[in-house]
């Protein structure tokens, strides 16, 4: 997945050397933060606050998230990134012999440098077509693990949107939720791109419904306009115990926790969180429309801020001179899947320019 079409560092060096600029659709964290968020960080900067996330700003932000998720009893903890959120949640909640069922394309499965295993837990990786787990996948894993010679699956990891840009429907999430309840599995949702999922045209879930259906999840800030920060939301009472010990032990309690609290306060006090996601989705849909109109197909149906067109190699080479993006993988017959990612900061001109370039081909 991280295969660069032209090796990233070499290309950047060349681009800088020739003073060329290239617009990047490589990810949703290339820019800094939305200006309102920068402002929020600066406000009340000299007021003395408690350390380690017990400041009034973080407390307010947590309260707001409880309100928005419709769960007044939830525990909310802020951490600095997604891998950190995942490794803390999983290591805090699983016993040594317990494992987590996850898609083979899941972030924890491939792109966290073994962070979950480093805390001692096996990931039961499941092949999927779109990065989404189904209840049949879960049943199969449960059936496979029979006795104490194998690990004991205890958690189900899903991401919404998935690493391939897909989202769960309400029906699908309800099924997963019931399945996990009936099997006494913890349902954990990685929401690094939750905003993009919730503001997708194809989405039929609300933040409250998601919060109702999963036991624990995190709301991603970094990929949605924040400088850094994810908000872990623990809904299920028995998962809350001593969570701050785990945050501290894994190096996640920032002395100035206010820096994340302030950002989430800004994101959720009005609708900034959703506005930023919506913009990213709109830009992605415009890109998708242009690509479709130019006659190209997609690996997965575009619905969020990550889209995966299948393009001729020659066209990809041409586009890569002006735009940054990742090559996902080659398909047959001289074509390849690329990943295009838009963000809260994506400029419409860049999108237009990409489509122009594509149409020239």
Q: Which of positions 246-285 make contact with a copy of itself (CB under 8 A)?
A: 246-256, 258-259
Show the tokens assigned to 94.
């699983």
Supply the minimum distance, in Å, between the C-beta of residue 277 and a copy of itself: 16
Q: Does 321 interact with a copy of itself (rule: CB under 8 A)?
A: no
3-class DSSP state of 219: strand
Cβ–Cβ < 8 Å for 141, 102: no
As measured in angstroms, the least distance from the Cβ of 125 to a copy of itself is: 8
- Residue 298 binds to a copy of itself (criterion: CB under 8 A): no
91 binds a copy of itself (CB under 8 A): yes
How far is residue 193's CA from residue 196's CA, in Å, rounded to a whole number?
5
Options 97, 202, 208, 292; binder of a copy of itself; rule CB under 8 A: 97
Q: Angle 35-42/258-269 helices, nearest 10 degrees?
A: 130
Cα distances (Å, whole numbers) of residue 351 to 287, 306, 354: 6, 13, 5
Rule CB under 8 A: say whether 204 interacts with a copy of itself.
Answer: no
Q: How many Cα atoms within 13 Å fall on the side-chain side of residue 159?
A: 27
51 binds a copy of itself (CB under 8 A): yes
- Candidate segments 64-72, 104-112, 181-189, 277-285, binder of a copy of itself by CB under 8 A: 104-112
Strand partners for 334: none
Single residue of 17, 18, 19, 45 touching a copy of itself by CB under 8 A: 45
Task: Tell me the per-residue interface mask from 3 to 42 with a copy of itself, x by CB under 8 A, - otherwise.
Answer: x----xx--x----------xx--x-xxxxx-x--x--xx
Q: How many residues of this chain interact with a copy of itself, rule: CB under 8 A?
A: 85
Shortest distance in whole angstroms from residue 244 CB to a copy of itself: 4
| Shortest distance in whole angstroms from residue 265 CB to a copy of itself | 14
Site of tokens 């989405």: 203
Question: In the complex with a copy of itself, which residue's Cβ is closer, 176 or 276?
Answer: 276
Sign of the dihedral through C-alpha 282, 288, 292, 294: positive
Residue from 10, 139, 178, 245 binding a copy of itself (CB under 8 A): 245
The single residue among 14, 20, 47, 237 that binds a copy of itself, judged by CB under 8 A, is: 47
Q: By CB under 8 A, is residue 148 in contact with a copy of itself?
A: yes
x/- letters, 160..179, toward a copy of itself (CB under 8 A): --------------------
- Choice between 64 and 259, CB closer to a copy of itself: 259
Output phi, psi for 312, to 5 deg.
-65, 145
Supply the minimum distance, in Å, between the C-beta of residue 271 and a copy of itself.
22
Among 244, 269, 296, 330, binds a copy of itself (CB under 8 A): 244
Listed ranges 96-104, 196-204, 205-213, 315-323: which one lies at the site for a copy of itself (CB under 8 A)? 96-104
- What is the closest distance, in whole angstroms, from the C-beta atom of residue 324 to a copy of itself in the complex? 8
Q: Please state, in angstroms and rounded to a whole number, the distance separating the CA atoms of residues 320 and 357.
A: 10
Return the residue matching tokens 């939830």. 74
Residues 111-140 that bind a copy of itself (CB under 8 A): 111-115, 117-122, 125
Least distance from C-beta 241 to a copy of itself, angstroms?
Answer: 9
Task: Confirm or reject binding of residue 183 to a copy of itself (CB under 8 A).
Answer: no
Distance in angstroms (rounded) separating the CA atoms of residues 254 and 184: 33
- The rounded distance, in Å, linking the Cα atoms of 65 and 68 is 5
**C-alpha span between 302 and 283 (Å, rounded):** 11
What CA–CA distance (Å, rounded) separates 74 from 31? 32
Distance separating alpha carbons of residues 99 and 97, to the nearest angstrom: 7
Find all residues with CB under 8 Å of 154, minimum gap 6, and list them: 93, 94, 95, 98, 99, 100, 184, 185, 186
Name the E strands within the chain.
Answer: 23-24, 75-79, 98-103, 123-126, 152-159, 186-191, 216-220, 230-234, 297-298, 306-307, 309-312, 323-324, 326-330, 335-341
């Amino acid at each position: 997945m991280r295969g660069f079409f032209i090796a990233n560092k070499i290309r950047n060096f060349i681009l800088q050397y020739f003073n060329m600029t290239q617009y990047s659709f490589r990810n949703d964290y290339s820019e800094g933060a939305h200006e309102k968020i920068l402002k929020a960080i600066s406000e009340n900067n000299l007021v003395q606050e408690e350390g380690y996330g017990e400041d009034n700003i973080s407390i307010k932000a947590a309260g707001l998230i409880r309100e928005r998720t419709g769960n007044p009893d939830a525990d909310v903890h802020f951490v600095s990134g997604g891998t950190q959120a995942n490794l803390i949640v999983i290591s805090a909640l699983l016993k040594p012999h317990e494992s987590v069922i996850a898609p083979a394309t899941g972030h924890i499965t491939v792109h966290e440098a073994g962070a979950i295993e480093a805390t001692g837990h096996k990931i039961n990786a499941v092949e999927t077509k779109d990065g989404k787990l189904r209840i049949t996948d879960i049943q199969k894993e449960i059936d496979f693990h029979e006795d104490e010679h194998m690990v004991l699956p205890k958690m189900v990891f899903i991401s919404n949107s998935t690493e391939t840009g897909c989202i769960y429907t309400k029906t699908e999430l309800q099924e997963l939720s019931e399945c996990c309840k009936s099997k006494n599995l913890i349902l954990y949702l990685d929401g690094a791109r939750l905003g993009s999922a919730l503001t997708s045209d194809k989405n039929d879930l609300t933040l409250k419904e998601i919060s109702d259906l999963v036991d624990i999840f995190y709301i991603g800030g970094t990929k949605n306009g924040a400088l850094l920060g994810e908000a872990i939301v623990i809904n299920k009472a028995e998962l809350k115990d001593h969570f701050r010990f785990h945050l501290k032990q894994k190096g996640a309690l920032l002395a100035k926790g206010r820096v994340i609290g302030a950002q989430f306060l800004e994101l959720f006090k009005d609708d900034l969180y959703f506005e930023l996601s919506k913009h990213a989705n709109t830009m992605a849909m415009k890109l998708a429309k242009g690509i479709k109109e130019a006659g190209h197909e997609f690996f997965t149906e575009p619905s969020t801020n990550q889209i995966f067109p299948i393009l001729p190699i020659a066209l990809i080479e041409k586009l890569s001179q002006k735009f940054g993006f990742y090559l996902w993988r080659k398909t047959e017959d001289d074509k390849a899947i690329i990943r295009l990612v838009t963000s809260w900061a994506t400029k419409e001109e860049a999108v237009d320019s990409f489509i122009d370039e594509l149409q020239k081909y």
